[in-house]
Amino acid sequence: MAWLVLKSNAIDANAPLREMPVHVMEYHIWWDSPFYGKPEQRHWGKWNDANPAALESARPGAPAWRRNTSGGLPLIGCYSSANPDVIRWQLRCAKAAGITALQVQLFPNETNGLSFDREEIFADVVRIAGEEAMPVYIHDEVQFRQPPATHPEVMISRLTTALSRYGSLPGYYHIDGRPVISFQYWHQFAAPNEIEEIASTLNRSFRGGVYFILNGNWHSVFADTVALRGLVVTSNSMIFDTKASATPDWAALDKKLWKMKLSRLARFTRFWPGDMSFGLWAYPSFDDTKPDVPADKRMHLTRGQNLSTLRETIRRYAAERPDFVLVSSWNDWQENTALEPALDVDGFNGDPYQALRAVAELQGKKFTPPPLPPREDIDPMVVEKTLSIK
């Protein structure tokens, strides 16, 4: 096994992500609204799973135009993920922030697992990504599905079909000439040898192979699994005490779990097979304080005033010099982690682009907002009350 030369610890304190690839997870394409699509698609979808009808009313103490969404409120209001104008705007925002690639979460079909749900939307995302030079790639959310979706032969068929359709397109992300595929393995839904079988089979099926990124706990059996190309580990939402609106106690974390865990993981970045990459997954906020979650089980970690927790989390991860940083999320509004421009997030300071500005600044770049989508693509309540759109 080839080993890396010891990496430098040098880091730009003002721009810790300079020259470090930034991937963003959870670009969800499951959102529906009454404002776009075929008649059967014009409904509230995912914006408030518990009570869609509440979207027509205000949050307690908030003006009606803010709608009672499940997390924060996007700058353009509740949109449809199928709207090409919205897709184009989202990709332009990501590109302007210096994001390297977006992981699009695709869920296997629950009946047979042989295809992905909402694949027709993903096809548009990849097409537009090519036009905008803002690449995307598939994150297979297989660990949240039941068999047969998790069976090796089904995964092989599903991923082979998807990569045959999209893997060679200009908008699909490649590393070292290989189309990238990611999936989570925290629940270890398959045995390690089955994961290797999946990766090896697909590598043989495509000229040049496939770039597999496994997102899950380190497992020693993967050290020599040449079929895998990258590993993503940790999520700081699992390290912080996220009960009762917690904010990080950095001094305590330095003495205990945070420093210990990051130091241990950092060793993998120093002594990792030379042709494989290592990523750290930053989860700078989390909010599941929904009515259906018991009070003693709720987790609430804010991103801090002016996104101080987000900035400090990413800075500390970058200081370990991984090959790339993976940040959650692009638009998971249910858990209030979205980087997407927003009107209502933790530490909101009147700047809907503050999260993307922060990501750009951490790279030493300046964020310039792209033009908004056309008026007809924006939630009419938001148009009327917040945006100067003619």
Domain encompassing residue 158: 23-385
pLDDT tens digits, 84-115: 999 999 999 999 999 999 999 999 999 999 99
pLDDT tens digits, 290-338: 656 666 666 667 777 778 888 888 888 888 788 899 998 999 887 778 8
Q: What is the longest distance spanned by two Cα atoms in the chain?
A: 62
Residue 363 vs residue 233, higher pLDDT? 363
User: Would you say residue 3 lies in a domain?
Assistant: no
Helix (H, G, I), strand (E, B), or coil: what is residue 286?
strand
Name residue 102's beta-bridge partners.
24, 136
What is each CA distance from 224 to 47, 105, 321, in whole angstroms? 43, 28, 22
Q: How many domains does the chain have?
A: 1
CA atoms of 78 and 30, how far apart (whole Å): 12
CA atoms of 23 and 126, how far apart (whole Å): 16
The phi-psi region of residue 48 (left if phi > 0; otherwise alpha if psi is between -120 and 50; otherwise beta) is beta
79-88, 102-111, 185-194, 277-286: range with lowest mean pLDDT: 277-286
What is each CA distance from 318 to 190, 323, 354, in whole angstroms? 31, 9, 20
User: Would you say residue 265 lies in a domain?
Assistant: yes
Which of 120, 190, 191, 195 lies closest to 162 in space, CA to CA?
A: 120
The pLDDT value recorded for residue 5 is 33
Write the CATH number for 65: 3.20.20.80
State the DSSP H helix or E strand holding residue 278, giving kind and residue range, or none if neither: strand 277-282
Cα radius of gyration rounded to whole Å, the chain: 21
The pLDDT value recorded for residue 335 is 78
The pLDDT value recorded for residue 40 is 79
Which of 230, 236, 235, 314 lies closest to 272 in space, CA to CA?
A: 230
CA atoms of 35 and 379, how far apart (whole Å): 7
Residue 9 vs residue 31, higher pLDDT? 31
pLDDT over threshold 60, residue 192:
yes
User: Would you say residue 12 lies in a domain?
Assistant: no
User: Would you say residue 6 lies in a domain?
Assistant: no
In this structure, which amino acid lies at residue 176?
Answer: D
Mean of pLDDT over the chain: 82
Helix (H, G, I), strand (E, B), or coil: what is residue 76?
coil
CB 117 within 8 A of CB 138: no
Residue 259 vs residue 224, higher pLDDT? 224
Using pLDDT thresholds of 50, 70 and 90, give the confidence band for residue 348.
Answer: low
Which of 207, 222, 115, 197 lies closest to 161 in space, CA to CA?
A: 115
Using pLDDT thresholds of 50, 70 and 90, give the confidence band for residue 243.
Answer: low
What is each CA distance from 247 to 282, 312, 342, in whole angstroms? 15, 12, 21
Q: For a pLDDT cut of 70, what percent of the chain falls above it?
A: 73
User: Would you say residue 200 lies in a domain?
Assistant: yes
User: Would you say residue 51 lies in a domain?
Assistant: yes
User: Would you say residue 18 lies in a domain?
Assistant: no
The phi-psi region of residue 236 (left if phi > 0; otherwise alpha if psi is between -120 and 50; otherwise beta) is alpha
Entry field: residues in the chain: 390
User: Would you say residue 85 lies in a domain?
Assistant: yes
| Surface-to-core class of residue 275, CB atoms within 10 Å of its CB (0-12 exposed, 13-18 middle, 19+ buried) | exposed
pLDDT tens digits, 247-273: 677 776 666 555 556 656 656 555 555
CA atoms of 25 and 48, how far apart (whole Å): 21
CA atoms of 135 and 178, how far apart (whole Å): 13
